[in-house]
Amino acid sequence: MPHSLYEIESLDEFDRILAEGGSLSGYRVQSVDLTRRVAELEHADVHGAVFLGCAMSWEAEYRVQQAGALVFPVIPHLPFDPYRGELYSPEGLYDGLSGSYGKTPDARTYAWYLRTKAEHDIFAAVVRAMHDESMSNALNEQLHGARVIGVMGGHALARGGPEYLAAAELGRTLTRAGYTIATGGGPGAMEAANLGAYAAPLADGMLAEAGRILARTPSFEPSVEAWARAAFEVRERWPGGGDSVGIPTWFYGHEPSNAFAGRIAKYFANAIREDGLLARSTAGVVFLPGAAGTVQEIFDASTPNYYASYGKPRPMVLVDRAHWTERLPAWPLLGTLAEGRPMAGRIALVDRVDEVPGALAAMG
């Protein structure tokens, strides 16, 4: 990695790098509290360094700017950190849930987004863009080298039913096979796939028991608080679950993030979120039954496959023949697009979720 792209995202990293060479030149220091590092900043070589949202004394800030560093200041009164160097956790987004969902960082950030979007505030737009770019950077680091399979599907799928449990079993099977599950991070089929990944290292019977607990609160409506608490009840009863990624958006902030994704990249801009989710699904994408959002994702994924933008087309598996040929006939159009192109051998339509692993294996 070029020196100019080095990043420091923790105080431990900051101290280690200074101890090794004393130079911060060319580094990007991201959301690190440096209020107790006045002497270190006084003596370090900071020419060409960039400090993004790092708390520091005014004397230290003045010194590093005079020495050739660029300082992006901490922005007060925000319910989120636009420079954050890591993905969210379910616990972080839902901090304060014991009081009410409205007090959580997730809900407060959504309220801020709605207010500033309505005001057409250019400063807020810049802050949102910085946050989303930080998310993308952290997501790249999280998924580097992983075999990622995206699982898409409708948000309305109720907890505990056979289709929900089938989606969870798919997430578990693929995770146990060494894949990293990535979803849109919301409720319904997305939550089910993340739940399956969480269940992967646990006993087989856990999934059915968890489904019974979750079925008591089948939807996030009318109460996000009750819906989220049920998920945390499952996590507390079965700690040590497997990891996966959720990539939701405050653009659809009325749909809460599910608590089974171990790491959450939550965006303001839905277009960036959608494109990033599909682009990072390097081992393929599975499309469970869904509505407008899932249809959009099918054709968002098919476009780079059609033009071979990533090289060899990536596998796409659509689940439920009747859904994708009769109710929402995306499959005929997808098949027509694929005719005579390399992507023709990289798409599949199956009837049942348990056929997905075999379809993916057949496409290599």
Question: Which parts of the chain register pLDDT below 70?
Answer: 1-5
In this structure, are 25 and 146 located in the same domain? no
What is the per-residue pLDDT for 167? 97
In this structure, are 143 and 273 located in the same domain? yes
Is 241 in contact with 202 (CB distance < 8 Å)? yes
In this structure, are 53 and 148 located in the same domain? no
Residue 223 lies in a domain: yes
Query: Domain of 205: which CATH number?
Result: 3.40.50.450
Of 72, 90, 122, the residue that ends a domain is: 72
What is the per-residue pLDDT for 124? 97
In this structure, are 161 and 261 located in the same domain? yes
Tally the domains of the chain: 2
Residue 243 lies in a domain: yes
What is the per-residue pLDDT for 1? 35
Q: Where does 53-92 show beta strands of DSSP type E?
A: 70-72
In this structure, are 68 and 159 located in the same domain? no
In 10 A of CB 279, how many CB atoms?
Answer: 16
Of 44, 72, 100, the residue that ends a domain is: 72
Residue 185 lies in a domain: yes
What is the per-residue pLDDT for 2? 35
What is the per-residue pLDDT for 251? 97
Is 172 in contact with 166 (CB distance < 8 Å)? no
Residue range(s) defining the domain that contains residue 22? 3-72
Name the β-bridge partners of 150: 182, 285
Q: What is the pLDDT of residues 180-202, one digit of tens each?
A: 999 999 999 999 999 999 999 99
Of 282, 302, 336, the residue that ends a domain is: 282
The tokens describing 118, both together, are 């309505």
Residue 310 lies in a domain: no
In this structure, are 66 and 157 located in the same domain? no
Residue 133 lies in a domain: no
Tell me the backbone φ, ψ of residue 180, rounded to 5 degrees. -100, 125
In this structure, are 35 and 166 located in the same domain? no
What is the per-residue pLDDT for 5? 61
In this structure, are 37 and 168 located in the same domain? no
Residue 292 lies in a domain: no
What is the per-residue pLDDT for 240? 97
- Measured distance CA(106)–CA(95) in Å, rounded: 8
- Measured distance CA(297)–CA(285) in Å, rounded: 10
Residue 340 lies in a domain: no
In 10 A of CB 98, how many CB atoms?
Answer: 11
Is 29 in contact with 49 (CB distance < 8 Å)? yes
- Measured distance CA(242)–CA(228) in Å, rounded: 18
Residue 90 lies in a domain: no
Name the β-bridge partners of 267: 249
